[in-house]
Amino acid sequence: MKAVLHSLLGSLLLAATLPASSVFAQSPDSAAPALTTGFDHRAAELLDLFEGRTAFADFFAPSFQAAIPEAQFQAITTSLIAQYGRPLAVDDATSTNGRAGTVQLRFEKGVATFSLDVDAEGRAIGLQLTRFTMTHDSFAAVAAELAALPGRTGFLVAELDGTTIRRLAAANADTQFAVGSTFKLYVLNELAAQVAAGRRNWSDVVPLSHLSFSSTATGNWPKDTPVTLQTLANWMTSVSDNGATDTLIHLLGRDAIEARMRRAGHSDPSRNIPLLTTVEAFALKGNNFTAERAAFVAGDDSAQRRLIDANRNRLILSNVDGISFTNGPRSIDSLEWFASPNDIARAMADLRARGSEPAMAAMAINNGVGPAAAADWTYLGYKGGSENGVLSMSLLGQRKRDGKWFVVTASWNNPKANVGTEDLIGRVTRLLALAAK
């Protein structure tokens, strides 16, 4: 649905921010050290910003304010303070050029690492949470916090030994959740399988045949632009481009991807049959297809497939009612792509076992959590999914210290209200950090 968060951290660029204190931890009566750069100045003002002593409009550059309005910024910081407690002191602030660097801020429950960027005038253009290390953290603590979120949540942390999945921590791991664009893992897997079978090559050039809604890479591109299969795979996986996805679905075959999903061990494949393209799903969810949506939801797999086939010339980008998606979740329990945390782990295991370097590389372009959280991993691949009321994050990693492979996946659905990315991303990053131990 909504283009999967290009990077769940990346899409929170400027948004996943927490309160900070002075760049130099000091007692109130100690002399403040000289601030010589824009980076130093803004880092020192962070506490004042979050406590209201420095105006939002004075601290941030216009580009930041356009991307993240003040009300949204305040909502995010309120949520993150609720997770991690009050900010206490800055333990470290480092910049090599006076314009960009990192700040380690100690909170009541742990230490946050932020990236901070300023423009030539010294106003902040980027403030991003890249890691949070909890004090005395545990899987049980994260599980309790996920369970307290409104709606339904489920997660799984597991070690992969070949195709064997050894559970380390989980909740509702067999429950089906709407997972948004996480379903694109099955498309990537089928593409890799067809290349391995000699039916296709990653370098094959094909037309961008099917345009879709909310496409980060191919939005407004001319139809039938020639692109390689590897380019489509990279776009689909790293920025969750929907036009690239739909082009691949039509090229590989809906039936073939459905069969791949079954072979990968999906526990309830009927939930995703027929496998909808992104534009079909967007169209059916919108106000232009109210009767068709009701019939689709009520039908069995065969009836649903007939409906899609009968309306193939109508379920297209020009008939997507984008306004429909401005008022919260729509049919996320009945018209979506579904998987349990265990299903996603099995899909990740199947993809890894295929041994396709281009497929693995596609997942690693955007690791979803940023460089600091990825530091403990030799390899870290990611696929996420989101729409109104739906958020899913899934990572496949090889642990640096011993070469073992792990899956970390979590999903959150709330049919009554939109879900906050910042409420899930920090907890998934903590699960990843716990797995790294």
Instruction: Mark whether 96 and 219 lie in a shared domain.
Output: no
Instruction: Mark whether 191 and 253 lie in a shared domain.
Output: yes
Nearest CA among 250, 193, 247, 254 for reference residue 223: 247
CA distances from 112 to 16, 118, 139, 242, 407 (A): 11, 19, 19, 33, 23
- pTM score of the predicted model: 0.82
| pLDDT, tens digit, 9 for 90 and up, residues 346-378 | 999 999 999 999 999 999 999 999 888 899 999
Instruction: Mark whether 44 and 118 lie in a shared domain.
Output: yes
318 burial via Cβ count (<10 Å: 0-12, 13-18, 19+): exposed
Residue 305 domain-assigned (yes or no): no
Degrees (nearest 5) of the Cα angle 3, 6, 7? Answer: 140
Least confident window among 14-18, 21-25, 208-212, 256-260: 21-25
Instruction: Mark whether 234 and 167 lie in a shared domain.
Output: yes
| Domain extent at residue 363 | 137-276+328-437
Nearest CA among 191, 184, 368 for reference residue 278: 184
Instruction: Mark whether 88 and 202 lie in a shared domain.
Output: no
CA distances from 128 to 94, 102, 249 (A): 15, 9, 34
Residue 407 domain-assigned (yes or no): yes
Instruction: Mark whether 356 and 432 lie in a shared domain.
Output: yes
What angle, rounded to 10 degrees, do the helices at 357-364 and 184-196 form? 150
| pLDDT, tens digit, 9 for 90 and up, residues 323-351 | 888 889 999 999 999 999 999 999 999 99
Domain end position, chosen among 134, 151, 182: 134
Question: Mean pLDDT highest for which of 100-109, 199-208, 421-430?
Answer: 199-208
User: Computed from CA positions of residues 175, 178, 180, 186, in that sequence, does the dihedral angle turn out positive or negative?
Assistant: positive
Instruction: Mark whether 104 and 167 lie in a shared domain.
Output: no
Tell me the C-alpha distance between 331 and 311, whole Å: 19
Residue 228 domain-assigned (yes or no): yes
Element (H, E) at 372: helix 370-373
Instruction: Mark whether 260 and 240 lie in a shared domain.
Output: yes
Domain end position, chosen among 104, 134, 164: 134
| pLDDT, tens digit, 9 for 90 and up, residues 275-294 | 999 999 999 999 999 999 99
Residue 286 domain-assigned (yes or no): no
In the chain, how many domains are there? 2
Instruction: Mark whether 205 and 107 lie in a shared domain.
Output: no
Instruction: Mark whether 17 and 66 lie in a shared domain.
Output: yes
CB 212 within 8 A of CB 246: yes
Instruction: Mark whether 153 and 76 lie in a shared domain.
Output: no
Residue 18 domain-assigned (yes or no): yes
The band of 422, judged by pLDDT with boundaries at 50, 70 and 90, is confident
| pLDDT, tens digit, 9 for 90 and up, residues 70-88 | 999 898 888 778 888 888 8
Tell me the C-alpha distance between 324 and 289, whole Å: 11
Amino acid occupying residue 415: P
Residue 200 domain-assigned (yes or no): yes
CATH of the domain at 336: 3.40.710.10
Question: Mean pLDDT highest for which of 70-74, 202-206, 209-213?
Answer: 202-206
Instruction: Mark whether 243 and 186 lie in a shared domain.
Output: yes
